Structure 1
Amino acid sequence: MPLHTRTLLEAKAMLAQGETTPTALTAACLARIAATEPVLNACITVLEETAMQRAAQLEAQGNPNNLPLWGIPVTVKDLLCTKDAPTTCASAMLAGFMAPYDAFVVERLREAGAVIVAKTNLDEFAMGSGTESSAHGPTCNPWDAQRVPGGSSGGSAAGLAAGQAFGSLGSDTGGSIRQPAALCGCVGFKPTYGYVSRYGAVAYASSFDQIGPMARTVADCATLFGVIAGYDGRDATSAQLPAPDVAPALATKSLQGKTFGVVKELWEGGLSDEVAAACQSAVEAAKAQGAKVVEISLPHLQYAVATYYVLASAEASTNLARFDGVRYGLRAQGEHDLVGMYTASRSQGFGEEVKRRILLGTHVLSSGYYDAYFQKAAKVRRLLLQDFQAALGQCDALIAPVSPVTAWKKGEHVNDPLTLYKMDMLTLGLNLAGLPGVSLPAGLGAASGLPVGVQLMGRAFDDIALLGMANALEMALPRLGVPTGIPA
């Protein structure tokens, strides 16, 4: 069995037993990157030299302190600052930018003994659903290179499914971890907002963004979460909680005594037949594991898409105002006045999707429109949170599909952004509420043969219990096997 096909916990056990070494694991992942990148384009920066140096150093030192990720190769989304590699956010605006510090989660990975082998591709500034808006070109789905991997963390999901690393970090603003994980056939976890520090993550929408892990199994995801979670005084939104003990999640093997809520608004209309069938099979699997299933309603969910795009675009407009060619980012040449330089720099530095969201956000924040749009959306956000809280007062977790369709063909919706925005309805409600959610493979679509994902959603800061339920459900779901659209 090739090293790159192992799970994170299997690789960890092999290291502990002396069956492999950090340099062997790292070399295997780098070889896999070299073999699959011509097809996938999942990585923006491959850290071949520094990764091998790091692995050799860890190997020479040994693991006397029992570091949880000692010698394990991982990747990180290229909006997380790293002081030893460029952080571009897949944008021409930040081409070649070198951060002077590591993001909090990158610090935690290094402290845990991980080896960062690459920084992964994404939709520019994390704005998109297919990893097609990257200035570095689109990423392909490892199950079919003609299709998208989802987004915005598509590079992390595609590379992970292809065996480029044993785990990856992405960010989830409206489903950007869970949706690509579903479309690529891996596990993605969005923690409760505030459980993982956003320090060093280039912001899209600050009240929505949440960094989280992606891996091949729920247990692997939980292990990564245990490393990156915990309080950080440099992030004003960081919850004052210690790093969680993930052992209870890994030990959960049954859903006996648990109640799952089927959110009727997320199952009504819009789902393809194969997605509906695979996710219904996941519900039956939950019942077989001992769970009770009840129907739940989130009455304000119908307003979630509009609410999200008003609020997130407003925050994006504010966050990206700093990229003006003076303080940060690309500076256009040949302009002779300040306004011309600002205009040319932002026109050249940002792609179409980012400009679209900046324009929308600036509009809803403008005088005369703030009350009509932004303030009203903020009120609806509160109502939606109350809906989730009421639903989760009746059950232990909510269960729903992640995406209404399997991976679509590249370019299919590039000129129809509204269709892509509507596809986010199944995921973005959780970001509006700030609650945790985990996506796991439900099986392959009967018609397409492509991965389908199902998600569990839980109570605030009850992340370990949610991962435990996902761990138990995963045992009853089919294994997908090896992606068919890349070199073996």
Structure 2
Amino acid sequence: MTILDMNVAELKQRLKSRDLSSSELVEASYARIAETEASIQAFLTLDEDRARTAAKAWDEQYAKGEADSLLAGLPIGIKDNIVTDGLRTTCASRFLENFVPVYDSSVSRKLKEAGAITIGKLNMDEFAMGGSNENSAYQTTRNPWDTNRVPGGSSGGSAASVAALQVPFSLGSDTGGSIRQPASYCGIVGLKPTYGRVSRYGLVAFASSLDQIGPLTRTVEDAAHVLQAIAGYDQMDSTSANVEVSSYPSALTGDVKGLRIGVPKEYMGEGVDPVVKAKIMEALKVYESLGATWEEVSMPHTEYAVAAYYLLASSEASSNLARFDGVRYGVRASSPDNLLDLYVKSRSEGFGQEVKRRIMLGTYALSSGYYDAFYLKAQKVRTLIKRDFDEALSRYDILLAPTAPTTAFKIGEQVDNPLQMYMNDILTIPVSLAGVPAISIPCGLADGLPVGLQLIGKPFDEAGLLKAAHAYEQHTEHHKLRPQL
């Protein structure tokens, strides 16, 4: 085992005992990146000088016995749509190629306060729009399990870096499945908290009513530690929920006797690969052996989720991305004929194909004469989907389903078929529309590729969700599997 394969508790113990220094840990991370980055291409920007300086400072704190912060001296990678003071933040777009923020996002600030050391910024689909990482303006991140396959998206760089042992954990953002789906494809843990649990201040907005930051880790316990560091109310975010944050690591008791599990039949139907279904049924048997019970439940409005999501998310993207106009920051077209020409040329040059597609779809849905027919109707469908979850979660403690209908597909296989690409999120999108928390954990391999098990919890019950996930993890070996790069 390399030091980068250790969990948070093990790393903290070795740092405290002085068997390991933060500087050694940071150097190991950069050495691993140098060794694997040519084949993985997870990072867009590295922050080596500041990371090494921070590591030395934490080593001094450990020497004095004063390093008691939650993640003191541990390296982390951050998705490139999360603002970091003094460190380039591009959203994997040409539009923000040279954008260096002058402030920290709330999660970046909280991570610093918890002692985490930012190694660098991770690749993604441009402005978080995509499910394969093929929409980045700079490079295509590859899946460590098979470098001919996608790592998922939009947080593909965040997932691949953790799976490839470049960093112990990372941050991603989830709009319609962008933490959970890449976690599934890369064989790691990915947690989407309840909407409002983690501040969005400093997260470059894609769809403001859906976006949520969360951790990608190799174990459920690590996810609990990282969530503990970043969760909580933030007055800088008007959508932040002022709900008490419990001790997530303390919830990991391993006891799920009496747990009531609902299995949505719509999530196990047509389009879900039989080998994926088989792994989910095996997971249910594990829960049965631990004293949990399960029943099939119906979520009748699931079939409308993808259509509703792409109307709503694209409409919000159309509004949010209007600020990228070539005037205030980012790409500015050279020699425009007039102000309108400046807007058109700057946006044409700065945005990629998928971003343009979603802006056009959203603008159409919001336009006069179409608002009621499309956007308003999608909002009503969202309410019905939320009611499905409210009803199911009133009867069961958690819901259980596959994270993705298949394992990771090959690079280029779906790039020319956006509708097929959108359908990869069919099992994660309803959760995002409802705003409830969900976690993807490894549940085995199918033809040598990871399969993700998705657990869905009650609003703001991340503790219960982590408890259920941790119990399964402790009675299986799937989270210990590693890709052979």
Match of 2:375 in 1: 374
Match of 2:135 in 1: 133
> Is the 2:325–2:346 contact (alpha carbons within 8 Å) kept by the matching residues of 1?
yes
Match of 1:199 in 2: 201
> Is the 2:218–2:479 contact (alpha carbons within 8 Å) kept by the matching residues of 1?
no
Q: In structure 1, what is the Cα distance between the partners aligned to 2:67 and 2:450?
A: 39
Moved more, 330-339 or 402-411: 330-339
> Is the 1:230–1:244 contact (alpha carbons within 8 Å) kept by the matching residues of 2?
no
Match of 1:79 in 2: 81
Q: Is 1:248 matched up with 2:250? A: yes
> Is the 1:145–1:485 contact (alpha carbons within 8 Å) kept by the matching residues of 2?
no
- Aligned to 2:346, what secondary structure does the other structure show? helix
Instruction: Look up the equivalent residue of 1:301 and give its one-letter code.
Output: T
Match of 1:443 in 2: 444
Instruction: Look up the equivalent residue of 1:456 and give its one-letter code.
Output: L
- Aligned to 1:426, what secondary structure does the other structure show? coil
CA 1:323–1:208 in 2, change beyond 3 Å: closer, same or farther?
same
Match of 1:20 in 2: 20
- Aligned to 1:299, what secondary structure does the other structure show? coil
Offset at 1:241?
2.6
Offset at 1:247?
3.4
Deviations 1:83-116 (A, max 9, x none): 1210000000000101110000000000011111
Instruction: Look up the equivalent residue of 2:477 and give its one-letter code.
Output: P
CA 1:118–1:451 in 2, change beyond 3 Å: closer, same or farther?
same
Q: Is 1:231 matched up with 2:233? A: yes
Match of 1:40 in 2: 40
Please show how residues 21-420 of structure 1 align to structure 2 within 5 Å: 21-62=21-62, 64=66, 66-250=68-252, 252-420=253-421
Offset at 1:267?
0.2
Instruction: Look up the equivalent residue of 2:9 and give its one-letter code.
Output: L
Q: In structure 1, what is the Cα distance between the partners aligned to 2:61 and 2:115?
A: 11
Q: In structure 1, what is the Cα distance between the partners aligned to 2:483 and 2:243?
A: 42
Q: In structure 1, what is the Cα distance between the partners aligned to 2:245 and 2:258?
A: 27
CA-based RMSD of the aligned residues comes to 1.1
Q: In structure 2, what is the Cα distance between the partners aligned to 1:244 and 1:420?
A: 37
Instruction: Look up the equivalent residue of 1:171 and give its one-letter code.
Output: S
Q: In structure 2, what is the Cα distance between the partners aligned to 1:134 and 1:97?
A: 16
Q: In structure 2, what is the Cα distance between the partners aligned to 1:55 and 1:93?
A: 32
Q: In structure 2, what is the Cα distance between the partners aligned to 1:472 and 1:429?
A: 25
Instruction: Look up the equivalent residue of 1:449 and give its one-letter code.
Output: G
- Aligned to 2:251, what secondary structure does the other structure show? helix
Match of 1:469 in 2: 468
Instruction: Look up the equivalent residue of 1:241 and give its one-letter code.
Output: V
> Is the 1:229–1:244 contact (alpha carbons within 8 Å) kept by the matching residues of 2?
no
Offset at 1:274?
1.7
Q: In structure 2, what is the Cα distance between the partners aligned to 1:296 and 1:405?
A: 22
> Is the 1:204–1:316 contact (alpha carbons within 8 Å) kept by the matching residues of 2?
yes
Deviations 1:147-191 (A, max 9, x none): 000000000000001111111110000000000001001000000
The TM-score with structure 1 as length reference comes to 0.97
| Percent of matched pairs sharing the same residue | 50
- Aligned to 1:137, what secondary structure does the other structure show? coil
Offset at 1:481?
4.4
Instruction: Look up the equivalent residue of 2:108 and give its one-letter code.
Output: V
- Aligned to 2:478, what secondary structure does the other structure show? coil
- Aligned to 2:377, what secondary structure does the other structure show? helix
Offset at 1:370?
0.1
- Aligned to 1:313, what secondary structure does the other structure show? helix
- Aligned to 1:158, what secondary structure does the other structure show? helix
Offset at 1:476?
2.3
Offset at 1:336?
2.1
> Is the 2:45–2:121 contact (alpha carbons within 8 Å) kept by the matching residues of 1?
yes
Q: In structure 2, what is the Cα distance between the partners aligned to 1:249 and 1:420?
A: 36
Q: In structure 2, what is the Cα distance between the partners aligned to 1:443 and 1:190?
A: 21
- Aligned to 1:415, what secondary structure does the other structure show? coil
Q: In structure 2, what is the Cα distance between the partners aligned to 1:67 and 1:480?
A: 26
> Is the 2:163–2:483 contact (alpha carbons within 8 Å) kept by the matching residues of 1?
no
- Aligned to 1:419, what secondary structure does the other structure show? helix
Offset at 1:66?
1.0
Q: In structure 2, what is the Cα distance between the partners aligned to 1:36 and 1:204?
A: 30
Deviations 1:323-377 (A, max 9, x none): 0101232001121211111111101100000000000000000000000000011
Offset at 1:480?
5.1
> Is the 1:188–1:215 contact (alpha carbons within 8 Å) kept by the matching residues of 2?
yes
Instruction: Look up the equivalent residue of 1:96 and give its one-letter code.
Output: N
Q: Is 1:452 matched up with 2:451? A: yes
Q: In structure 2, what is the Cα distance between the partners aligned to 1:242 and 1:29?
A: 34
Runs of 4+ in 1 over 6 A off after TM superposition: none
> Is the 2:208–2:316 contact (alpha carbons within 8 Å) kept by the matching residues of 1?
yes
- Aligned to 1:439, what secondary structure does the other structure show? strand
Deviations 1:35-72 (A, max 9, x none): 11000010011111211111011111335251010111
Deviations 1:10-40 (A, max 9, x none): 2122112222010011111111111110000
Offset at 1:302?
0.9
> Is the 1:128–1:353 contact (alpha carbons within 8 Å) kept by the matching residues of 2?
yes
Match of 1:3 in 2: 3
Q: In structure 1, what is the Cα distance between the partners aligned to 2:66 and 2:52?
A: 20
